[in-house]
Chains A and B, each alone.
Chain A
Amino acid sequence: MATNFIGKPKNRVDGRDKVTGTAKYTAEFHRPGLLHGVVVSGTIAKGRIKNIDTTAALRLEGVVEVFTHINTPKQAWLDLSYKDMDAPPGEPFRPLHNDKIQFNMQPVALVVAETLELAQYAATLVKVEYEVEEHRTKLADHLEDAIDGDGFRAGFVPPKSQGNFKKAFSNSEVQLDVEYFHGAEHHNPMEMHAATVFYEEDGSLTIYDKTQGVKNSQHYISMVFGLSKKKVRVLSPFVGGAFGSALRPQYQLFLATLAALELKRSVKVELTRPQMFSFGHRPITIQNLKLGASPDGKLKAISHKAFSETSRFEKYVENVVNWAAKLYDCDNIEQVYKLVRLDMYTPLDMRAPGGATGVYALESAMDELSYKLKMDPMELRLKNYSEEDKSEGKPFSTKTLRECFQKGAAKFGWEKRNPQPRSMKKGHDLIGWGMATGVWDAMQVPARAKAEFSADGTLTVGSATADIGTGTYTIMTQIAAETLGLPLEKVKANLGDSDLPFAFIEGGSSTAASVGSAVQKVCEKIAKKLLKEAGKIKDSPFKGANPEEVIFADEMITDKINPSISMSFAEIMESRELEKINKKYMLLPNMLKQNKYSRNTHSAVFAEVKVDEDLGTIKVNRIVSAIDGGRILNLKTAHSQILGGVVWGISMAVHEDSFMDHTFGRFINHDLSKYHISVNADMPEIDVVFVEEPDMVVSSVGAKGIGEIGMVGVAAAIGNAVFHATGKRVRSLPITQEKAMT
C-alpha cells in the first residue's frame, strides 16, 4: 500500500508540545545569571531628549546598567546595515541612536538588572526631559502633502493604470463614487516580542528571538554590530503568533544584543503588552472608488485611489489598489496610491497587508454598484469575471473562483436571499446577507533544505523557516514522509535555527510553496541515492533503474511493473554499509515559467449578520468561505488557517481599532481590555470549502499558500450584509453599534 500523507487531516506534529506546556517560546529559555532588560518608552511623538537622568535607577543594588543614547557605543553608520529583508525604502529606525524622538513610545532607555521586578522598578526611576516639537499624526488632515506610494520592496507592485478611465467613466450609464475608511490595527500576537541573548564564553551569541525569519535577525545583528555570522546564531523553534509583526527585527532584538555585548553577559528583553503597540501597525487608509458600468452590469471603468500612512523615516508601501485588474474584466482601470508622512513608527505588514484593506473597499463598492444596477451582487461578479489578469495581460496559473462562487453560494443558501434591504427580519433582529470576493498572491521564493536519512530508518529534514502556528513543522513532515515513503513517526522536521539552510522570512503565504517544495526535492535526492545504492548490491534487481520505474513507499523501493520485486531501505543501508545519507537542495523558482502567468489565490465569502433594530448591536452569525488555494497539504491545519483568517476578517469588520489620541500622537487603547479582538462568544458558524486544483506553476507540491486568503474579502462581506440588514451603508471600519445606528 502506498503511503499517502499529503492532503490528509493529520494531527499537528507539535501538538503534544503545545498542549503540555513544553513548547518553549523566546522568553522561556534560561541559563543561570541571565539578566533582565526592561525598556523605557518615550512619552512624546516628536522632539528631542534634553536630559535623561539614570542615577536613581543605577543606585539600586542589582541594577547592572542603564543604556541610553548617551552611553550606547557607536554602531554601524550606514543605513544599509540596518536594512532587513522586509525593510521598505528609507532609513530604518535605530534604537538609542541619538537624542531624536521620531514616534511616541520610542524606546529611550534599557534598564538591565538581576531580576525582572527590579528592572521594572528601576525603569520607573529613569527621568527623561524632552524638548517637544509639534507633531502630526492624523492622516485625514494632511492629504495635501501626500507623496507617491512607490519604491522598491519585495512583493510590492507599483500601481499602474490601463486604458482611459476618465473617458470611460463619463461614458458610463451607471456611476458610483464613494469613499471608504478603516482604522489602524495592531497585530497583537499572544506572545510578546522578546529576545533572549546568551553570551557564550568565546564571545559568540546564541539568540532566541521572536521572529518569522531567523536568517533575517541573524543578518541584521551581524550587520549592525559588525559580527561575523559565525558568531551569531538565532533560534525561534516556536513563535507564539506573529501575523507579520515579526517579519522585521524589532527593537527588543537590538537592545538585548547591545546589552549582552556591552556587559558580556546573557540578557533577556521581553516587551509588555502596551509596548506591543509601539512598533508597526496596519496603516489607516482613506480610499476612493469610482465604478462605471453599463445598465446590464458590464464594468466599463474602475478607479481605485488610496491614501495611507507612513513614517517620516521609511516609506511603507503595500498593494492596496492593485486588485481590481486581477478580479475584473475591465479595460479602463486607474490605480492611484499615495502616502502621507506622519510622526509615527513605520507601519508594518499585517496579515494580508494591502489586500485586506484594498479589497474591503473594492468589494464594498461592487456591492453598492449591484444595488444601483438592481442586480444580484454575485451575478455582478460573474458578469465581470476575469479569465485573465488584465493588468499584466497574462492567464492565471490556476483559478477556481467560479466554482468557489457556486459551491459557497450553495452551502450558504444564497438563492433564497431577498435582495431588498431590511426584508429579512427575525424578532428584534434585522438579518442581512452579504458576499464578497477575496484575492491574494500565490508566491514562491527561493528556499534551501537539507535532509539526512539514517540507517535506523529515520529521516531528518531542515530549513531555516518558521512555524508561527501555520503548521510548517507538520507539512514539512508530511511532504518528506510522502516523498520518501516513510511513516510520519520516522520523520523529524527542524526549523527556526539560523544554522539550517536558508529560507526567506515566513510571510505573504509563501512558505508552503517554497519550503514545502524544497523539502520535497531534497527527499527526492535521498530517494535517488537510495536507488543508486540498491543498484550496487550484488545481483540487484534495481541495477541501473530510474526513479520513474520504482515506487518509494512503506520504507521500501518497489518495482512499478512487478511489485513482487522490492528492497527495504534498511536492507540497502545495511548491505551498502551506510550510516547516513545527506543531501541538500536549493529551490529557485522557475521564473521563466512562472512569469507567463498571474499567480493568485481567491475566495468567495458569504456572511450573515444579525443587527438588533433597537440597539444596533451587530452579531456575525454565519460565514461561508470558499477557497481557491491550490492543493491543500493538510486538511486539518489548512482548515484552521482559514478559520483564523475569517475570524481576523470579522474582527477587522466589527471590533479592532487602534485609537490614536492626536493630542499626544499616541495609540491610547494599548492593552487587551480596550483593544477589542474577537473572542469565543463572538464566534459564528464558519464553513470552509476548499475548491482544490493543484497549481504546478506556483510549486511542485501544487500548493498556493493560504495564510492570508482566508481573511481577504471577509470585512466587505460583513459590511455588505450589514447594509442588507439595515439599509444603511457604513463606509468605515470597524462597523460599531453607533455607526450602524446613526
Chain B
Amino acid sequence: MPEYNLNVNGQSFTVEAAADTPVLWVLRDHLRLVGTKYGCGIGQCGACTIHLDGKAQRSCLTPVSSVENAKITTIEGLSEDGSHPVQVAWKEADAPQCGYCQAGQIMTASSFLRENPAPSNEEIRKAMHGNICRCAAYNRIEKAVAMASEKLT
C-alpha cells in the first residue's frame, strides 16, 4: 500500500492508503477527522466539501494520490474555536438543524466569500445550490452567508 504525506489543517500526516481512496475516507477513517461527511459519494450533495488550497472541493471524488502537494482544510481547521465569521453567522441565523450537511455548507460558503466577499442574494443562491440540506434550512443558509459577508466586508 503506498504512503502519502498530507498537510491537513496545518499539520503533517502520513497515511497508508490505496491511490484511489477518496480523501473523504482518508479524513474520516485514517485521520478521524469526522467533521467532513459522506452524503452521496458521487459529488451531488456537497456534504463532503473541504478546501484544497482555500478552494472548495468535493472530497468524495478527490483521490488521496492527487492532494499530496495541497493544503487541505477541513471544518475542524476552519477556526480554532468556531469563531470564523461564517460559523458565527451560522449559529446566529439557526442554519444548522440536524447539522449533518453543515460542515459542507460552511466550507462552500467560506471559500465562496473569500472570492466574492460582498455577493448579491442571487449569487449566494447560485454558489450554495450544490449543497443539499434535507432539513431545508436554505433560506436561513442564504441569510447566514449574507450576515457573514457583512462581517467580512
A→B interface (CB under 8 Å): 11-12, 14-25, 27-28, 30, 115-117, 188-192, 238-243, 270, 272-273, 468-471, 636-637, 639-641, 643-644, 646-648, 651, 671-673, 677-683, 685-686
Q: Complex Cα distance A124/B101, Å?
A: 29
Closest CB in chain A relative to B99 CB, distance in Å: 3
24 A-B pairs with CB atoms under 8 Å apart are A11-B91, A12-B96, A15-B96, A19-B95, A19-B96, A19-B102, A25-B100, A117-B18, A189-B134, A190-B45, A190-B47, A190-B100, A190-B134, A191-B39, A240-B98, A637-B94, A643-B140, A644-B135, A644-B136, A679-B132, A680-B124, A680-B142, A685-B139, A686-B139
Contact of B35 among A21, A189, A471, A640 (CB under 8 A): A21
Known: A18-B96, A115-B29, A191-B98. A680 touches B40 (CB 8 A): no
B34 contacts A21, C-beta separation under 8 Å = yes
Chain A positions within 8 Å of B51 at CB level: none
Return B97 CB to nearest CB of chain A, in Å: 4
Give which listed residue, B38, B82, B92, B135, contacts A192 with CB less than 8 A. B38
Most chain A Cβ neighbours within 10 Å, of B34, B44, B106, B134: B134
A20–B45 Cα distance when bound, in Å, is: 19
A20-B87, A679-B132, A681-B126 given; A14·B99 CB < 8 A: yes
The reply to whether A469 and B98 contact each other, CB–CB distance below 8 Å, is: yes
Cβ < 8 Å to A, chain B residues 69-94: 74-76, 78-79, 81-82, 87, 90-92, 94
> A188 to B134, Cβ gap below 8 A?
yes
What 14 additional pairs, Cβ within 8 angstroms, besides A22-B35, A22-B76, A468-B98?
A15-B91, A19-B91, A19-B106, A21-B35, A23-B99, A190-B37, A191-B100, A240-B37, A644-B97, A671-B44, A672-B42, A678-B136, A683-B139, A685-B139
The secondary-structure label for the interface of chain B is loop
B60 to chain A, nearest CB (A): 10
Q: Of the candidates B44, B101, B102, B136, which one forms a contact with A643 in the assembled complex, judged by CB atoms under 8 Å apart?
A: B136
How many Å from the CB of A634 to the closest CB on chain B?
Answer: 9
Cα-based distance from A19 to B47 in the complex (angstroms): 13
Would you give the shortest CB distance from B131 to chain A, in whole angstroms? 7
**Cβ B91 vs Cβ A241 within 8 A:** no
B136: nearest chain-A partner, CB-CB: A647
Given A24-B34, A190-B39, CB of A470 within 8 Å of CB of B97: yes
Q: Could you tell me which B residues sit within 8 Å of A by CB distance?
A: 17-18, 21, 25, 28-29, 32-42, 44-45, 47, 74-76, 78-79, 81-82, 87, 90-92, 94-103, 106, 124-126, 128-142
List the 8 closest pairs (A to B, CB-CB), nearest first: A21-B35, A469-B98, A240-B100, A18-B99, A647-B136, A469-B97, A21-B75, A681-B129
Shortest beta-carbon distance, A676 to chain B, in Å?
10
- Nearest-neighbour CB distance to chain B for A283, whole angstroms, equals 20
Q: Measured between alpha carbons, how far is A190 from B96 in the docked complex, in Å?
A: 12
Q: Which residue on chain A has the smallest CB distance to residue B137?
A: A640
Residue of A nearest to B104 (CB): A190
- Contact between chains at B99 and A680 (CB < 8 Å): no
Please report the C-alpha to C-alpha distance between residue A680 and residue B104 in the assembled complex, in whole angstroms.
14
Cross-interface CB contact of B74 among A21, A23, A192, A239, cutoff 8 Å:
A21
Nearest CB in chain A: distance from B58 CB, A: 12
Residue of chain B at shortest CB distance from A643: B139
> Which residues of the partner chain B approach A470 to less than 8 Å between Cβ atoms?
97
| Contact yes or no, A116 B29, CB < 8 A | yes
Asked whether A640 and B140 contact (CB < 8 A) given A11-B94, A19-B90, A273-B39, the answer is yes
B99 adjacent to A17 (CB under 8 Å)? yes
Chain A residues lying within 8 Å of B141, measured Cβ to Cβ, are 680
Rounded to whole angstroms, the CA-CA distance of A291 and B102 in the bound complex is: 46
* Assembled-state Cα–Cα distance A680/B134 (Å): 11
Can you name the residue of chain A whose Cβ is closest to the Cβ of B40?
Answer: A672
* List of A residues within 8 angstroms of B38 by Cβ: 27, 192, 270
Residues of A with C-beta under 8 A to B33: 21
The answer to whether A189 touches B138 (Cβ under 8 A) is: no
> Which B residues lie within 8 Å of A641 (CB)?
97
Which residue in B42, B130, B131 is a CB contact (below 8 Å) of A671? B42
